[in-house]
C-alpha cells in the first residue's frame, strides 16, 4: 500500500500535478489544475507499482475510459485520435486544450486484485492574458480616459477570453466607492469567449467629476487584475471661480502648480480658453496620470508641471480634485515675464549710456520714449522737470505697442511746442516704465 502526495507546478508545457508515493496508499491530490487555453496540459501523478491505470473525462459511473495503461500497453480512444496520452508513471497529457476540456477527470488505479483507489481532478482552462483584449466604448483599449457626461451606457468588453472572466463596474464619488448596477452578457464563437458589462452613468448633485472603473478578474492564482479608468465630467455643472490677480513667472522657467496638499484620490486640470469654456489638460487617479495637451506633465502628487514656461501657456488654470469625501477646486492665473536687454527706457536721440542729453529743436516736434523686447506690455510715463516755469509745453501723448514674436516694443510719443525764441534748456529727468507684478 502507498501514500499518494500531490503538489502542483506550472511549466512551459502546461500545468503539472506531481504525486509521489510511499507508505500506505491514500488519494490526497489537489482538487484543481489550471491549464492555459491552446497549450498542452499535464496532470502528472506518480503511481508506483500499479498494475493498471484508467483515465476518464467524466465522473459518471457509466463513463468509459478515454485512455488506459496496462502492462506497458496504452489503449482507448484518446490514443487513436491523439487527444490524450498516458505516461509510464500514469500521468495524463491533454493536447491542444480548449474550453471543452474544462471538466473533472477521474483516474482509477488498480495496484492489486484487492487494492484500488480513485482520484478526481478538476481541470480549469483559462485564456492567455497576453492575447485577451480589454476595452471600453469610450476609451478603446487605453487604460484610462476622460469623457463628458453621456446619455448612452458605459460598456466594457473583454475579447478572446474564457468563461471564468468576471467584469465589474465600480463607481467612485464624494459619497464613496460602490459597485455600479450593471448588465452582463457573454458570447462564444466555438473557440474563445467574449464578455460584456454595461452601466448607466449617474452623477450626484455634489460632484462635477466621477470615476468609473471597469475591472477584469479571473479566478486563477497569480493572474493579474486589469482595469480601465473612465473619468466622467458633467460640464453642465459650474465650478466656483473667482477673479485672480496674475502671478508672473520668467519665460522659460519651470513652473509647478500645486493642486492640493491633501492626498487626492483623483483630480482634473483644466485651462480656460475663452470666457465660458475650459479645455482638459490632464487627469490623475491614485498616482496614475495622463496628459492630453503637449508641454505639460503631472507630478506624483497631481501637481501641474510646465517645462520652460512660455507666453503661449499664459492664462487661467483650475484643478478639480476629490480626496474621497468632497470635491473642491484650486485656481491659478499665470503670466510670463521677459526682461528687455536695456532694463531702463530709452529716449530717441539720446545715447543709451548717457545720463542726460541736449536736443537742438525747432519751435515744435515730437519726443519719443521707448522700451523694446519686453513682456508683458509696460506703460511708460513722462516726468517733465521744471515744465511749469518753462516756455515749452507738452501735449497729445500717444502710446504705440508693436508685437515682435513673443515680446513687445512700447513707444510713448508726446508733442512739444516752444512759445519763446532764443536758446533754452528744459531738463527731462526720466521716462519711467512701471510694471507691477508678483513673482
Query: Quick check: is 392 in a domain?
Result: yes
- According to DSSP, the residues that pair with 184 across neighbouring strands are 197
State residue 365's pLDDT score: 84
149 and 63 belong to one structural domain: no
Query: Cβ-count burial of 312 within 10 angstroms (0-12 exposed, 13-18 middle, 19+ buried)?
Result: exposed
Distance (Å, whole) CA 374 – CA 435: 11
Same domain? For 321 and 253 the reply is: yes
Q: Do 166 and 263 reside in the same domain of the chain?
A: no
What is the tens place of the pLDDT at every residue in 139-175? 999 999 999 998 899 999 999 999 889 999 999 999 9
Contact 119, 204 (CB under 8 A): no
Tell me whether residue 238 is in a domain.
Answer: no
CATH classification at residue 273: 2.60.40.10
Q: Is residue 242 part of a domain?
A: no
Q: Are residues 7 and 122 in the same domain?
A: yes
* Domain end among 126, 150, 180: 126
The sign of the dihedral angle between the CA atoms of 265, 271, 277, 279 is negative
- Based on the domain organization, do 149 and 216 belong to the same domain? yes
| Residue 408 and residue 322 in one domain | no
Residue span of the structural domain in which 210 resides: 133-233
Question: What is the pLDDT, as a whole number, of residue 24?
Answer: 41
Does residue 281 fall inside a structural domain?
yes
**CA–CA gap between residue 158 and residue 141 (Å, rounded):** 10
If asked whether residues 7 and 85 sit together in one domain, one would say: yes
Do 291 and 322 lie in one domain? The reply is yes
CATH of the domain at 379: 2.60.40
Q: For position 199, what pLDDT does the model report? A: 97
Please count the structural domains in the chain. 4
Q: Same domain, yes or no, for 329 and 398?
A: no
Write the burial class of residue 300 (CB in 10 Å: 0-12 exposed, 13-18 middle, 19+ buried): exposed
User: Does 307 fall in a domain?
Assistant: yes
Q: What is the pLDDT of residue 259?
A: 95
Q: Are residues 35 and 139 in the same domain?
A: no
Residue 183 lies in a domain: yes
- Dump pLDDT digits (tens) for 218-269: 888 877 889 999 999 998 888 777 778 899 999 999 999 999 988 899 999 9
Rounded Cα distance between 108 and 58, Å, is: 12
Asked whether residue 305 falls in the same domain as residue 390, the answer is no
Give every residue of the chain whose pLDDT is below 50, as ranges. Answer: 1-28, 353, 429, 434-439
**Nearest CA among 149, 316, 319 for reference residue 237:** 149
Phi and psi of 389, rounded to 5°?
-105, 10
315 shares a domain with 352: no
| Cβ proximity of 338 and 291 under 8 Å | no
Flag whether 240 is in a domain.
no
Q: Is residue 241 part of a domain?
A: no
Pick from 294, 311, 337: which residue ends a domain? 337
In 3D space, the residue among 395, 392, 383 whose CA is nearest the CA of residue 426 turns out to be: 392
pTM of the full structure? 0.75
- Which among 412, 332, 325, 422 has a CA at the least distance from the CA of 372? 412
d(CA 209, CA 195): 28
End of a domain among 211, 233, 255?
233
Amino acid at each position: 500500500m502507498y501514500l499518494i502526495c500531490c503538489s502542483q507546478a506550472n511549466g512551459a508545457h502546461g500545468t503539472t500535478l506531481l504525486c509521489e508515493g510511499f507508505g500506505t496508499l491514500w488519494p490526497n491530490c489537489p482538487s484543481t489544475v489550471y491549464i492555459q487555453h491552446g497549450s498542452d496540459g499535464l496532470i502528472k501523478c506518480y503511481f508506483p507499482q500499479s498494475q493498471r491505470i484508467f483515465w476518464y473525462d467524466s465522473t459518471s459511473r457509466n463513463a468509459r475510459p478515454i485512455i488506459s495503461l496496462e502492462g506497458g500497453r496504452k489503449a482507448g480512444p484518446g490514443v487513436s485520435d491523439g487527444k490524450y496520452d498516458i505516461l509510464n508513471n500514469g500521468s495524463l497529457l491533454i493536447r491542444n486544450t480548449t474550453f471543452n476540456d474544462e471538466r473533472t477527470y477521474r483516474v482509477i488505479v488498480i495496484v492489486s486484485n484487492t487494492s484500488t483507489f480513485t482520484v478526481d481532478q478538476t481541470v480549469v482552462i483559462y485564456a492567455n492574458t497576453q492575447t485577451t483584449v480589454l476595452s471600453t466604448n469610450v476609451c478603446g483599449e487605453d487604460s484610462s480616459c476622460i469623457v463628458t457626461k453621456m446619455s448612452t451606457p458605459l460598456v466594457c468588453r473583454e475579447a478572446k477570453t474564457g468563461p471564468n472572466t468576471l467584469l465589474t463596474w465600480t463607481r467612485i464619488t464624494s459619497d464613496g466607492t460602490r459597485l455600479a448596477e450593471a448588465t452582463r452578457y457573454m458570447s462564444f464563437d466555438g473557440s474563445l469567449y467574449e464578455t460584456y458589462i454595461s452601466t448607466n452613468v449617474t452623477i450626484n448633485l455634489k460632484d462635477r467629476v466621477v470615476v468609473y472603473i471597469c475591472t477584469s478578474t479571473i479566478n486563477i492564482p497569480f493572474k493579474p487584475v486589469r482595469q480601465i479608468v473612465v473619468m466622467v465630467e458633467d460640464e453642465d455643472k459650474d465650478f466656483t471661480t473667482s477673479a485672480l490677480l496674475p502671478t508672473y513667472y520668467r519665460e522659460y522657467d519651470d513652473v509647478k502648480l500645486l493642486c492640493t496638499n491633501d492626498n487626492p484620490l483623483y483630480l482634473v486640470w483644466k485651462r480656460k480658453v475663452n470666457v465660458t469654456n475650459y479645455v482638459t489638460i490632464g487627469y490623475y487617479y491614485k498616482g496614475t496620470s495622463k496628459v492630453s495637451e503637449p508641454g505639460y506633465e503631472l507630478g506624483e502628487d497631481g501637481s501641474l508641471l510646465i517645462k520652460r514656461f512660455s507666453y503661449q501657456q499664459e492664462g487661467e488654470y483650475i484643478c478639480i480634485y476629490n480626496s474621497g469625501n468632497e470635491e473642491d477646486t484650486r485656481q491659478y492665473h499665470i503670466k510670463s515675464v521677459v526682461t528687455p536687454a536695456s532694463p531702463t527706457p530709452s529716449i530717441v536721440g539720446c545715447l543709451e549710456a548717457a545720463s542726460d542729453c541736449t536736443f537742438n529743436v525747432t519751435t515744435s516736434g515730437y519726443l519719443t520714449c521707448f522700451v523694446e523686447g519686453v513682456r508683458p506690455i509696460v506703460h511708460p510715463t513722462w516726468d517733465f522737470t521744471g515744465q511749469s516755469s518753462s516756455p515749452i509745453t507738452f501735449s497729445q501723448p500717444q502710446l504705440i505697442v508693436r508685437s515682435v514674436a513673443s515680446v513687445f516694443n512700447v513707444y510713448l510719443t508726446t508733442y512739444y511746442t516752444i512759445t519763446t525764441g532764443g536758446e533754452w534748456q528744459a531738463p527731462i529727468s526720466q521716462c519711467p516704465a512701471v510694471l507691477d507684478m508678483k513673482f
